Amino acid sequence: MNYFVTAIGTDSGKTLVSAILTEMLGCGYWKPIQAGEPRDTDTVKSLVTNSECHFISEKFLLKTPASPHYSAEMDGIELSADKFELPSADQLIIEGAGGLLVPINSKEVIADLIRGFNAEVILVSDLYLGSINHTLLTVEELKRRKLAVKGIMFNGDSNVASEKIILQKSGYRCLMRLPKLEVVDSPSVIKFANELRRNWE
């Protein structure tokens, strides 16, 4: 099974979660669209120590740190879902760009890529004032599109009330609660990969 890591917004923790998943599963990592530097592929590679993991180059490496549709326009490139072919690999962690409804062109969004990748979604929800609404809006879109979801990863200082209502209303299960980390490094990734393994099935 491939897993597509998406989130309720930008800078929600997708790259850290992707590193943890890649470390745990000993599989491939692929970010189809990278808009701007630094490259998330380089970050994940620097955090993962599992020798079975491998890292696949981006399909589109765009220069401007912006929404993919705009960044591609600046580079004179036209993105469309039919231009993405799943790399040959036994298993992949696929990291999205931004959230589900981030546009890749005037008609298609990140969510349009997921079904073609035959992947289950892992939703990252960082906890802040307003995150309940943002998370449940994302949940509604996942359900509207009938996309398979493995579960939710909460990221940041724990908020029991927020987490409880999100899980109750979504019907998804919590895969892990990631605390706010002062330092993100390989030992942290290994630690949380071991913790996630216990909650995986």
Note the pLDDT tens digit of each residue in 122-137.
999 999 999 999 999 9
Question: Cα separations (Å) of 159 from 77, 99, 165?
Answer: 42, 22, 10
**Which uninterrupted H or E stretch holds 140?**
helix 131-144
CA trace torsion 71, 104, 20, 132 (10° rounding) = 110
Percent of the chain exceeding pLDDT 70 equals 100
CATH number for 53 = 3.40.50.300
pLDDT at 201: 82
171: left (phi over 0), alpha (psi -120 to 50) or beta: left
pLDDT at 43: 97
Under DSSP, the state recorded for 145 is T
Catalytic residue chosen out of the listed positions 31, 45, 107, 191: 31
Average pLDDT over residues 136-148: 98
Q: Give 182's pLDDT tier (boundaries 50, 70, 90).
A: confident
Tally of structural domains, the chain: 1
Average pLDDT over residues 29-48: 97
Q: Are 100 and 141 in contact (CB under 8 A)?
A: yes
Tell me how far apart the alpha carbons of residues 194 and 49 are, in angstroms, rounded to a whole number: 13
- The verdict on whether 31 is a catalytic residue reads yes
Residue 140 lies in domain: 2-199
